[in-house]
Amino acid sequence: MDRSASAAGRETAALSRVQSAIGTPPVVKAARGLSLFGEHSAGWFALGLLGAAVDKDRRKDWLVAAGGVVAAHAASIAIKRVVRRPRPDDPSVQVLVGTPSKLSFPSSHATSTTAAAVLFSGLTGRKLVPVLVPPMLLSRLVLGVHYPTDVLAGSALGAVVGGLLRRKLRGGKR
């Protein structure tokens, strides 16, 4: 077995173990809810717009943040189309939700969620990354639609995009 096949086998095994360990009906239901919320970054975009509506003093910053979430999502889609890694397809992995494409790397949900957490943390003064990011990343594994490296790479991409845009917001690292 070559090195890439071995790595793919380890990722598939890890994915199967995650599903076996925590893929209970309540967890799957919550993961599906996160999937729906994060689809095309729509839920995060909507929260950014809500922030703009409520926080009139920083409306522009909230709009930039909302746009940044969408930009991070778009970047992940562009990378997916270049890399063209197929989603998990193994009898040991259950796919528990539909996806808009057959491409897996990087996870767009992980990308937009991390970007939102970074950007919204700066605007709310709260540490949102440890609260928002792990559940979304784990949900993609529970649902069987991403390999572990897909969600890690997506989260890294979202952190970079969010971090760069956060510096542009009024007040910087609030």
Per-residue pLDDT of the chain (174 residues; tens, 9 = 90+): 455 567 778 999 999 999 999 999 999 999 999 999 999 999 999 999 999 999 999 999 999 999 999 999 999 999 999 999 999 999 999 999 988 899 999 999 999 999 999 999 989 999 999 999 999 999 999 999 999 999 999 999 999 999 999 888 765 444
Cα angle for residues 124, 36, 68 (degrees, 5° grid) = 40
Q: Is the separation of the CB atoms in 155 and 118 below 8 Å?
A: no
Residue ranges of domains in the chain, CATH in brackets: 3-166 (1.10.606.20)
Q: For residues 118-149, b (16+ Cβ closer than 10 Å) or e, as one string?
A: bbbbbbeeeebbeebbeebbbbbbbbbbbbbb
CA atoms within 13 A on the CB side of 32: 11
Task: Output DSSP code: residue 72.
Answer: H
Query: Which residues, in sequence order, are bridge partners of residue 103?
Result: 86
